[in-house]
Amino acid sequence: MNTQASKQARQLRLSRQIRQLYAVDQHGSRLLDDAGNQYLDLDRTPEVLVDLGVPPNLSAATLAGSKFKNLGEVRAWTQAMLDDTLDEHCAVIIGKGGNYTAAAILGNAVRRGLTVSWYTWHNFTRRYTERINHGRMLTSGNAEEASSAAEMITNAEDEDDYLSSVYDVLALIEFDINDVRDFAVPEICALIRQRTAFGRATVVTVPAANSDVMAENSQSFGARGSLLRLFEHEAKAFDGR
């Protein structure tokens, strides 16, 4: 995606998110203020987050209400992200409360008018495996299968462009080192690194059940260890265990 196309895609995404923030009546018609102008109802931020895939029980999360340890550090990092003054553009949130905190970070970003997106780690990594399977269908499948595979590959590549250069804040939740194939690791690492040139931040949550892996020797995980080394050397870690 070229720079101009990236800017246009970012604006379209932002416009769609902002449209959902306008105050509306019970029939969905936009309300007007005393001057006759449409206005934003920021209390509708949870609706925007739910539309992006954030579970309803997390969408109304606020940093002030989070039980995550070292919340003051998370709040300072979030404010720097909103002010676009971050030194560390990737944050890893380890332990209980991570998803809640990630949802709160996205909520603050939406209120500031930033483009955001929410993925489970499984859905984020799955398309790399599927891309290999689709590539095989291009050469071994029949004409209909090959056409479908080509379309899916193109769509996946377009989505990678969005992930790397359109969304200001990207949340990848429920990190699991075992839920990714070795061949996909270089592309994933490159995408996360590339985001530092375009986006504000990437937030990765690690559930308590998978948290021990962050302290293990990354060399023992083969190619997947590159992900652990990326988080170790290039991410701000918030450990709530």
**pTM metric for this prediction:** 0.86
Q: Where are the domains of the chain?
A: 44-239
The pLDDT of residue 222 is 87
What is the chain's pLDDT, residue by residue, as a tens digit (241 residues)? 456 777 777 788 888 888 889 998 888 889 999 999 998 898 899 999 999 999 999 999 999 888 888 889 999 999 999 999 999 999 999 988 999 999 999 999 999 999 999 999 999 988 777 665 555 555 655 666 666 656 665 666 667 777 777 899 999 999 999 888 888 899 899 999 989 888 899 999 999 888 888 878 888 888 899 999 999 999 999 998 8
Is the Cβ–Cβ distance between 41 and 58 less than 8 Å? Answer: no
Residue 74 tokens read as 């998370």
- The Cα 132–Cα 183 span in angstroms is 10
- The Cα 146–Cα 108 span in angstroms is 43
Four-way CATH pick for 44-239: 3.40.50.2300, 3.40.50.300, 3.20.20.60, 3.90.1150.10 = 3.40.50.300
Tokens 């800017």 belong to: 7
